[in-house]
Amino acid sequence: MQPPARRLRRERWRPGHFGKAPQSGMLRLPSPSMRKNTMERLAILGALHEEIADLLAAMDPGAAVHRIAMRDFHVGTLWGTPCVIALSRIGKVAAAATASIVIREFQVSRVIFTGLAGGLHPDVEVGDVVVAHSLMQHDMDARPLFGQHEIPLLGRVRFESDAELSKRLLDSAGDFVRGRAIEGAARAQARVHGGLIATGDVFVSHAEEALALRARLPDALCVEMEGAAMAQVCYESGIPFAVLRVISDRADHAAKTDFTAFLENVARVYTAGILAPLLKARAL
């Protein structure tokens, strides 16, 4: 006679809800105490090597590298703060996969995504810094089943970043850009903006595309390819997050050239220059 099939009771995960202590046969979820003990690690993610290179170089000796799902996760301390730093690679799937891994495998308590973006808003120029107040996926469109840009079955269009983390990044970015002239930039002095970031699996490199995005999302400051995907994963897991972007191009015909030059010469300096004072002050 066949033994009766074992019934697994699945608990629904809700942000901030940890359920009852798992019993045998139940799907295992992290208990509050288990999460509390591991609350201290910060994840810093970037899509390209240059965007995180100076951070990796600055990690304190003794960092360990864990290879998971074709990615290297550098675990150690950065200017005294316990961190895991990883290269996500480009695009929404890559960012979502990487965010899931740092949350599940390394139990991080907060995630910062850093890198470059194309300026969309007329006030946002090459050399400026944008810190996300919220993020959305500009290429999500499941109409007529759901509203335009709505994440199906989640009932959300925008994901709000953590207010405290974002404010600290904004302030540090302000200190960093003050008095800093960017070669080839439209203005003598770079600016720092806080607001909406639009994410999609598209490198926007035609003025018409950028104009269409601007018309559809007039409050979007810049466009990039990872932030809102990471934000969705963090939101679903109840993990605070922030996104820091340096404007490398204006998402037009010159985007490829501007992006490449910026990536090689400026990206790493900005990221480390903005994060270092905060990490040294244990403010992230």
Give me the active site residues, please: 51, 249
Residue 126 lies near ligand ADE (rule: CB under 6 A): no
Least separation in angstroms between residue 120's CB and ligand ADE is 9
Q: How many residues would you count in the chain?
A: 284
- Most distant pair of Cα atoms in the chain: their distance: 81
Residue 224 lies near ligand ADE (rule: CB under 6 A): yes
Binding residues with ligand ADE: total (CB under 6 A) = 14
Residues in contact with 234: Cβ distance below 8 Å, sequence separation at least 6, in sequence order: 99, 103, 111, 159, 240, 241
What does DSSP assign to residue 2?
Answer: P
Among 50, 128, 162, 249, the residue binding ligand ADE under the rule CB under 6 A is 249
Nearest to 222 by CA among 136, 164, 111, 159: 136
Residue 244 lies near ligand ADE (rule: CB under 6 A): no
The helix or strand, by DSSP H or E, that contains position 57, with its residue range, turns out to be helix 49-58
Give me the 191-220 binding string for ligand ADE, x by CB under 6 A, dash otherwise.
------------xxx---------------
Residues 240, 246, 252, CA angle at the centre, nearest 5°? Answer: 120
The region of 68-76, 115-123, 149-157, 228-236 touching ligand ADE under the rule CB under 6 A is: 115-123
Among 78, 259, 268, 284, the residue binding ligand ADE under the rule CB under 6 A is 259
Task: List the end-to-end C-alpha distance of the chain, in Å, as a whole number.
Answer: 59
In the complex, residue closest to ligand ADE by CB: 118
Cβ atoms of residues 245 and 195 within 8 Å: no
CA 48 from chain centre, in angstroms, equals: 12
Residue 119 or 240 with smaller CB distance to ligand ADE: 119
Return d(Cα 52, Cα 3) in angstroms, integer.
54
Residue 26 or 261 with smaller CB distance to ligand ADE: 261
Residue 255 lies near ligand ADE (rule: CB under 6 A): yes
Least separation in angstroms between residue 274's CB and ligand ADE is 17
Among 251, 272, 274, 284, the residue binding ligand ADE under the rule CB under 6 A is 251
Parallel, antiparallel or unpaired: strands 64-68 and 129-137: unpaired
Residue 166 lies near ligand ADE (rule: CB under 6 A): no
Return d(Cα 110, Cα 39) in angstroms, integer.
8
Residues in contact with 4: Cβ distance below 8 Å, sequence separation at least 6, in sequence order: none
The region of 54-62, 72-80, 170-178, 244-252 touching ligand ADE under the rule CB under 6 A is: 244-252
Residue listed under structure tokens 């965010």: 99
Residue 117 lies near ligand ADE (rule: CB under 6 A): yes
**Dihedral of alpha carbons 215, 216, 218, 223, sign:** negative
Among 114, 237, 248, 271, the residue binding ligand ADE under the rule CB under 6 A is 248
Residue 226 lies near ligand ADE (rule: CB under 6 A): no
Residue 225 lies near ligand ADE (rule: CB under 6 A): yes
Interacting residues toward ligand ADE by CB under 6 A: 116-118, 203-205, 223-225, 248-249, 251, 255, 259
